[in-house]
Amino acid sequence: MTSTERTTNALWRAWWQQWPRWVAWATMLWAVLYAGFGLACALSGTSLLYHGGDSGVPGLGWAVMVVGALAALASGAVVLYGMGPALRVLLWGVCGLAGITAFSLLMDVITLMLGQGVDSQASAANKALAAVGAVLLAATARSDRRTPETPVRVPSAAPPLVQLGAWAGTLAFVPYAAMKLVWASGGTFAGITGEEMLAVSERNGASGIFLTLESWGLDPTALLAVLGVFLLWGLVRPWGQVFPRWTLFLRGRRVPRWLPLAPALVGAATLAPYGVAGVGYLALATAGVVTMRRGDFHSSSDALLVGWIGMIAFAVYGIALTIAARSYWLRTRPGCRTSVNGEGPSTARETIR
């Protein structure tokens, strides 16, 4: 490492270690912008909750403005008077509201990655802003509890039970990926052929990238499932904490904690509740309590079969990703000793041993 690189790294590290001092200001700036965004949407009649067709739910811009105003009030009070118990409760409460608002952001990200347009630009922007705000609000709520920076721990693997969860999340995607690849290769599954599924994708406005990959026998969602599994194992294995050799200038350096945690938290917050709620609905449909719409399939039973495969994959993977992200967070915290099982601070007796 050259002297310039060492100086740059030292300056960056010194600035980053001061985040408890500037994060409240950043949160207050975000809150003002978010409140202004909500006010503009409310006055213009722009819907922030889109659910197909030309329908939408008006008036949510005022709710967004209120969330932004509460966040500005709380963060501004932290800047002026410091953190207090009531302010911390308010910050966490607004953080929860922002997190709920950001739900399904992952679906919009996947849509954009595949070269397709989102259903509503205002709704997508609202989710993205809410996700940024949730992170800033959580950081502000914990800004007075940061411990002094100390050397980080040696890369370690997650406990066996967490790795068992990673295996469950991986295996849950196998039927889903197989189903998608059968369609992409021109085969038939659940009564619908690959050609019919490709026509459905074209009718629903699939992008050229999506259709090209399908024509090559590669389903984009199956490829994203592979990336999701890669992320999952990076969270539970030591290699997920250090850049590999093929990264050239970064090889051997520690991976910033936010790099895997950011997509992991977005994925977990989206897929876990989406999958669990979907499994619940499918259970009711299987029991005959509700009617399963056949959609693009030839029968409701075919739609039910495909639904079970998809929702079980999302639910199991989402839960496994949540557990793995928590384990990664605990194992990579600076200044904490590793306990016998690989997570959390150890007791004095364990340290002596």
pLDDT tens digits for range 314-323: 999 999 999 9
Residues 65-92 pLDDT 10s: 999 999 999 999 998 888 888 989 999 9
Report the distance separating Cα 47 and Cα 121, nearest Å: 10
Those residues whose C-beta lies under 8 Å from the C-beta of residue 216, and which sit 6 or more positions away, are: none
Residues 191, 213: Cα–Cα separation, whole Å: 22
What's the pLDDT tens digit per position in 164-207? 999 999 999 999 999 988 988 889 998 888 888 888 877 776 66
The arithmetic mean of pLDDT across residues 9-32, rounded, is 74
pLDDT score for 8: 58
Task: Single out the residue of 341, 138, 175, 158 nearest to residue 232, CA to CA.
Answer: 158
Q: pTM value?
A: 0.73
* Distance separating alpha carbons of residues 78 and 74, to the nearest angstrom: 6
Contact by Cβ (8 Å): 306, 239: no
Neighbours of 29 (CB within 10 A): 13
Does 254 score more than 60 pLDDT?
A: yes
- Number of C-alpha atoms within 13 angstroms, CB side, residue 133? 37
pLDDT at 50: 59
- Strands, E assignment, 155-304: 188-189, 192-193
